[in-house]
Each structure stands twice: as C-alpha cells, then as structure tokens.
Amino acid sequence: MNYFRLLIFLTFLGLLTTACQDTSSQIEVEETTSSAEVPDFDTFYLQFHSDSLYQLAHIQFPLQGVSSRPEDHGAGFRWEKEDWRMHRNFTSSSGFTSEFISLGDDLVIENIVHQNGQYGMERRFSRLGGDEWYLIYYAALHPL
C-alpha cells in the first residue's frame, strides 16, 4: 500500500511542478550519474534509447504523464503510441544532466535537469511482472 501511496504522491508532485512550455524538438540529455543499482536496468536503459521497436514495446501505453503543451494540461493526460517521439541517448553537448533514484528493486525515477536549473523532465521506469522494464510515466520538459 505504501508503494501505491508513493506513486500517487509522485504523480501529484509532478503535476504541481509542471508548467506550460512547448517543446517541438526532441531533447537529448547527458547522463552524469550512474544508473540505478537495480539489476539489469543499465542494459535495458541502453537498449531503450538505441532501438525504436524495443522502446515502443517497453512503454506502457497509454502512458501516464504530463505534456509540455498547455492545451494538454489537465487530469488524466496520456501519451499515445501513435504520437510518441523516440527518446534518444544522451549527448555531452545537450546541457542536461540525469539523476536516478531507485525505490526498491522494481522502480527507478529519472530526473533530467538543464544545467541552468530552470527546466527539467521526469521519467519513471518499473519492472513489471518481475522480468521486463517499462517506461510507466513521462513528464515532458517543464519549468522547475
């Protein structure tokens, strides 16, 4: 039950901190901290960003999250498979850093923040069914 309450709290917190910002281009970020210490997460994470079919197969659509577009704001926003833009691997020139927070063995939260500290994104990954990792939440770029 505590896990469920934590997910609700994190979802609510993400919605509170999200503001209106349109991002029409894909953003690449630089990984500056090691990925979570959850077994097999690093392997999943690398393949998730390098293989588009693998990425689509490992997203829990319709994906809960928050859009950068003001017209999409409101309770219950979901990313749809047909509108998904592939997330790419990090580059050193992007100006973004990534921090991973592991909550147990089956949940990893990734906070991605621009070097100026004014903008960020959030992604949540969960190991569902005990075997495979999936993206279960994505909050697009927003002011912090």
Mean pLDDT of the chain: 77
Q: What is the pLDDT of residue 33?
A: 45
Which of 14-18, 28-32, 97-101 is modeled with the greatest confidence?
A: 97-101
Query: What is the domain partition of the chain in residue ranges?
Result: 2-143
What's the pTM? 0.71
Residues pairing with 97 in the sheet? 30, 113
pLDDT in tens, 87-126: 997 676 889 889 999 999 899 999 999 989 899 999 999 9
Q: What is the pLDDT of residue 73?
A: 64
Give domain 2-143's CATH architecture: Roll (3.10)
Element (H, E) at 126: strand 119-128
Select from 52, 34, 53, 64 the least CA-distant residue to 125. 64
From CA 105, how far away is CA 110, in angstroms rounded? Answer: 15
Residues near 70 by Cβ (< 8 Å), separated by ≥ 6?
20, 22
∠ CA 14-7-10 to the nearest 5 degrees?
25
| pLDDT of residue 64 exceeding 80 | yes
Mean pLDDT of 37-51: 86
